[in-house]
Structure 1
Amino acid sequence: MDLTLLYRGPLASCDYDCPYCPFAKRRDSTEQLRADRAALERFTEWAGAQTEDRLSILFTPWGEGLVRSWYRRALVELSHRPHVRRVAVQTNLSCRTEWLADADPGTLALWCTYHPGQTPYDRFLAKCRDLAARGIRYSVGIVGLADHLDAARRLRADLPDHVYLWVNAAEGHTYTDAEAGLWTDLDPLFPYSRTPHASAGLPCRTGESVVSVDGAGTVRRCHFVPAPLGNLYDGSYRAALRPRACPLAVCDCHIGYVHLETLPLYDVFAGGVLERVPASPPTVPG
């Protein structure tokens, strides 16, 4: 079975305090961190044992995972499993990068977000260049707020041409055509993020070949549909896997709408869906 898993454990703490993020500077207690570590180690052991499947895994923690040693270990370990096609994580890239020397760069990838005001620009750029030197696949993105535009332009100028710079529409923000045009100049795929996608009744890969998993092993079709399909560890979720239409009115997050079968994004990101790396230089959707 080819299966993509979006894992989100209990971790909710972050080392940044972005004003547009509800999880900024949240502190997890020692007990919460221990629970997150135990949950991740259980998931990693399970994934490593699924040798009859072909797995693609994206870690999408509410907080910043790579500042925690157990996330770095999980990525390294899973990157060397022959049945793991890709293992990736969403990260602010605040962690050190030396640990990547132990990973398989053919399997591991990073989805990086730059947050102006939270880290010096030169420090973030240096880490991006280090990823490139190590042969790590990665994308870099930014939230499309007006006061981020200059930083985004600077990033686009300084990053290697092959590195995709994506722009996420700011939550709750409405863009004029002129504003959207400025962001589309930097990210030709910004129109997909600009407005939520009507999704009710449309076919989606989630619940069939893509699932969401929480720290307890509860499997759902995606992060945004709460109905459980079963449990990962007792295998009960497998009988529930089948084609499904989206039950929600709209889908407004990339990790959700990228799986809609009515959008061409599996072709756009062929080979790089999890790390948000396009197969070729992107063009504005027609």
Structure 2
Amino acid sequence: MDLTILYRGPLASCDYDCPYCPFAKRRDSPEQLRADRAALERFTAWAAAQTGDRISVLFTPWGEGLVRSWYRRALVELARLPHIRRVAIQTNISSRTGWLAEAGEAGREKIALWCTYHPGQTPYERFLSKCRELTALGIRHSVGVVGLDGHLDEARRLRAALPEEVYLWVNAAEGHTYTDEEADRWTAIDPLFPYSRHPHRSAGLPCRTGESVVSVDGDGTVRRCHFVPAELGNLYDGSYRRALGPRTCPLAVCDCHIGYVHLETLPLYDVFAGGVLERIPASLPPLLAGRA
């Protein structure tokens, strides 16, 4: 079986305090951190044992995972396993990057980072240097920003500095409505921004979540995705497997990339072929080559 898992454990603390994020500068207690570590180690051990399946994992923590040693170790350990196809994580890349070398050459080919630049939270040159370190290490990565007016100049600056082969995505700001003129400015940076600009109608439409893609929390509860609360079973007793199968979306709309990318009515599996988890297009969008 080929299975993609979106894993989100209890971790909710972050070293940034972005005004648009409810988890900014939240601190987990030592007990909460121990619980998160134990949950992640349990999940990693389970994934390592599934040698009869082909598994891809995207870690989507509410907080920042790579400042915690157990997330760094999980990526390295999973990447070394032959039945793990890809292991990726959403991150602000505020931590060091040298640990990635521990995965070895073959492991580094499986690791991918979905990196978000938050202007005002980290110096521009520091973030750019981290991106260059990832390139030097041979780590696949995408880079992106939230499409707020105050981020536009920094996004243009970053797009101009990054190698052309590094995709820079733009997320529509939650609750923000873009005029056509505003949308055009962001589309000049990210030609795929139109997919993010508006929520996608999803009610009754076929989606890969619940069939080949599932969401797993720290207790092992399996759901079709992060946005549909109905449970399919538990990862660790295997009960989820009986529930896997084609199904339509029960929600009116889907407005998050990690959700709507799996809608079968959108062409995004072709657009991001080979890079769905890390949000890397199969080929560079046409406007990207001209730089914004």
Structure-1 residue corresponding to 2:290? none
Q: When the two structures are superposed, what TM-score results if normalisation uses the length of structure 2?
A: 0.97
Does the 8 Å contact 1:219/1:231 carry over to 2? yes
Structure-1 residue corresponding to 2:93? 93
Q: Give the 5 Å matches for 1:1-286.
A: 1-103=1-103, 104-283=107-286
In structure 2, distance between residues paired with 1:12 and 1:230: 24
Where in structure 1 are there 5+ consecutive unaligned residues? none
In structure 2, distance between residues paired with 1:216 and 1:147: 39
Indicate the SS of the match to 2:108: coil
Where in structure 2 are there 5+ consecutive unaligned residues? 288-292
For residues 107-148 of structure 1, what are the alpha-carbon distances to aligned partners after superposition, in whole Å with 9 as ceiling and x for unaligned? 000000000000000000001001001100000000000010
Indicate the SS of the match to 1:186: coil
The structural deviation recorded for 1:283 is 4.5
The structural deviation recorded for 1:105 is 1.4
In structure 2, distance between residues paired with 1:227 and 1:250: 16
Query: What is the total number of aligned residue pairs between the two structures?
Result: 284
The structural deviation recorded for 1:106 is 1.0
For residues 65-85 of structure 1, what are the alpha-carbon distances to aligned partners after superposition, in whole Å with 9 as ceiling and x for unaligned? 000000000000000000000
In structure 2, distance between residues paired with 1:253 and 1:282: 20
In structure 2, distance between residues paired with 1:47 and 1:134: 25
Q: When the two structures are superposed, what TM-score results if normalisation uses the length of structure 1?
A: 0.99
In structure 1, distance between residues paired with 2:84 and 2:95: 24
In structure 2, distance between residues paired with 1:9 and 1:176: 37
Q: Which amino acid is the alignment partner of residue 189 of structure 2? A: L
In structure 2, distance between residues paired with 1:134 and 1:145: 31
Indicate the SS of the match to 1:208: coil
Q: Which amino acid is the alignment partner of residue 92 of structure 1? A: N
Indicate the SS of the match to 2:25: coil
